[in-house]
Chain A
Amino acid sequence: MANLHWLANPGRFLRISNAVVPYLAGLTVVLLAYGLWRGLTAPHDATQGAPATIMYMHVPSAIMSMTVYGGMAVASAVALIWKHPLADIAAKSSALIGAGFTATCLISGSMWGRPTWGTYWAWDARLTSELVLFFVYLGYIAIWQAIEDPQRAGRAAAILALAGSVNLPIIHYSVEWWNTLHQPAGLLQGKTDPVLAVPLLTLLAAFFCFYVTVLLLRMEREIVGRKIRQLRLLQAQA
């Protein structure tokens, strides 16, 4: 764990973070602009027509909703086992980003479903398990809000995050294990023509860079927030 302890020093973390963030932010903007331009000017899907354009928002949102959760669960495990303060902060700072992507995944999916399937919503395994993911994020955020002491809140939230991670394989494999209205994943199986896959993957990269950028900023805010808390406690005691 030598590497993790090396990063545990918040001063060092903030120095690295502050140095990296401007470049990551720039990369996010460039990838986002390029992906949107290529995606919106690409020819429409032959079967579905214009509504398939929604996939450029839906697919990256969906993948990120699960990626962010995965990161949050790993950070929670590190926080629980090694009591690593930065891991705790990383997990907490991820939640709102992930919850947001889950929401945009559900909304964009709904807007895609109506013109193609003929319904905004269906209780199939994929849609339902993604909705469960959203509620797990909300529960995680609620724990941090409800418990005053960061140590106790962190432990309770980490246990919830780990327990909720059983949902990740369910979401991913739902379309293979059960009959669903939702189609299986085809992006990485080469079932998407490059003309459509290139903007889609570009936007996925853009969403990922966005996530890392915002995560670093939110972690810094959390570190500052904890220092404020600590100083106030010190002043109260003085």
Chain B
Amino acid sequence: MTRKRQRMIFVLSGLGALGLATGLTLFALRDNLVFFYSPTQVVLREMPVENRNFRIGGLVEAGSLERVGADTIRFAVTDTANAVRVTYTGLVPNLFKEGQGVVAEGRLGTDGVFVASSILAKHDETYMPKEVMDALKAQGNWKGGD
């Protein structure tokens, strides 16, 4: 009985120590574990030093998307508090549109415009058929993008 107790304490304390170590490591690395920075963080310059590639993520601001030339686009990424202007040349994912989530990778120019080299679309965790979405929109209860 005491052997079992001993082993149980051993296992539990081992798990506790390991959990604590992992937690501290993750906490120390928290800045490197984010996939992208928000526009607010970019405005406050809370991202890696300038002239280095990083990702910025948020929503494509409604009304900001414009086409310049054949396949160059300009738009703004917003987290509703702040927005950062982005320019990008290339193909965009099908889901990319105003009001949708986006993650752009590239670097920040000296003029404060983010020059993206790749664009990924982000989507949220709500799933519904088109009829339901249309009904929500008709009732004015729709909270997502277009």
Contact = CB atoms under 8 A, between A and B. Distances in A.
Nearest to B144: A47
A42 B93 contact: no
Nearest to A187: B125
Given A48-B95, A82-B4, A178 B35 contact: yes
B37 interface: yes
Contacts of B144: 47
A118 B134 CA distance: 26
A183 B132 contact: no
B18 A179 contact: no
Interface residues of B, number: 42
Contacts, number: 127
Interface string B45-80: 000000000000100000000000000000000000
Q: Point out which of A46, A116, A197 has the most chain B C-beta atoms below 10 A from its C-beta.
A: A46
B119 A118 contact: yes
Interface of A: 42-48, 52, 55, 77, 80-82, 115-119, 122-125, 162-163, 165-166, 170, 177-181, 183-187, 189, 191-193, 195-197
Shortest Cβ-Cβ A-B pairs, 5 listed: A186-B125, A118-B93, A43-B129, A193-B128, A124-B35
A81 B132 contact: no
A178 B129 contact: no
Given A47-B123, A125-B35, A179-B34, 11 more contacts: A47-B100, A48-B95, A80-B11, A118-B95, A122-B35, A165-B15, A178-B34, A179-B37, A181-B35, A191-B124, A191-B126
B112 interface: no
A17 B7 CA distance: 30
Contacts of A166: 15, 18-19, 22
Contact of A178 (B8, B22, B30): B30
B38 interface: yes
B121 A116 contact: yes
Interface string B81-106: 00000000000111110001001000
